[in-house]
């Protein structure tokens, strides 16, 4: 299964590296084009939209990508920090799954994840192979 990821602080990249999946994953760029189902792994951020501060949303790059390829999205995992509060923790995964209800919320993990997080992620990703 193709894994597409977006990272700002390298936590997502390091999570995939620790899962031994980085080499088979593709970093999201503005020019990325795909034609197959994928799993999205992303970070959570805060953005201002029309002057309103929104917590727990994906990057604009992710939103643009999903507007083209969201129909191919199978699952979502997100990195976050619990110090943002439980309601905002890795909330970008909730946001994406709300917009694309056919996608499974695979995992929320803190920073680069734990061994248990990696095991859960690999188990869930394995069912798509």
What is the residue-wise DSSP string for 53-112?
EEEEE--HHHHHHHHHHGGGEEEEEEEE-GGG-TTTTTHHHHHHHHH-TTSEEEEEEETT
Tens-digit pLDDT profile for residues 94-123: 999 999 999 999 999 999 999 999 999 999
CB 62 within 8 A of CB 45: no
Q: Which residues contact 28 (CB under 8 A, 6 or more apart)?
A: 4, 5, 6, 42, 61, 62, 65
SS3 1: coil
pLDDT of residue 67: 97
What the block records as the tokens of 90 is: 């890795």
Tens-digit pLDDT profile for residues 56-67: 778 889 999 999
Domain membership of residue 22 (yes or no) is yes
Q: How many domains does the chain have?
A: 1
pLDDT of residue 49: 75
Domain membership of residue 129 (yes or no) is no
For residue 50, pLDDT over 90 is answered with no
Domain membership of residue 100 (yes or no) is yes
CA dihedral 96, 109, 127, 24 (to 10 degrees): 90
CATH code: domain of residue 60: 3.40.50.360
Residue 76 domain boundaries? 2-121
Cα separation, 83 vs 90, in Å, equals 11
pTM for the whole structure: 0.94
pLDDT of residue 54: 75
Tens-digit pLDDT profile for residues 28-49: 999 999 999 999 999 988 777 7
């Amino acid at each position: 299964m193709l894994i597409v990821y977006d990272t700002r602080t390298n936590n997502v990249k390091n999570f995939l590296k620790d899962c031994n999946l980085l080499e088979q994953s593709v970093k999201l760029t503005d020019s990325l084009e795909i034609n197959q189902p994928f799993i999205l792994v992303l970070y959570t951020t805060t953005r201002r939209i029309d002057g309103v501060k929104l917590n727990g949303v994906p990057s604009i790059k992710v939103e643009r990508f999903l507007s083209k390829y969201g129909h191919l999205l199978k699952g979502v995992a997100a990195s976050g920090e619990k110090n943002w509060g439980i309601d905002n923790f890795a909330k970008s995964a909730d946001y994406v799954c709300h917009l694309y209800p056919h996608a499974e919320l695979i995992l929320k993990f803190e920073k680069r994840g734990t061994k248990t997080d990696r095991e859960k992620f690999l188990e869930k990703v394995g069912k798509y192979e």
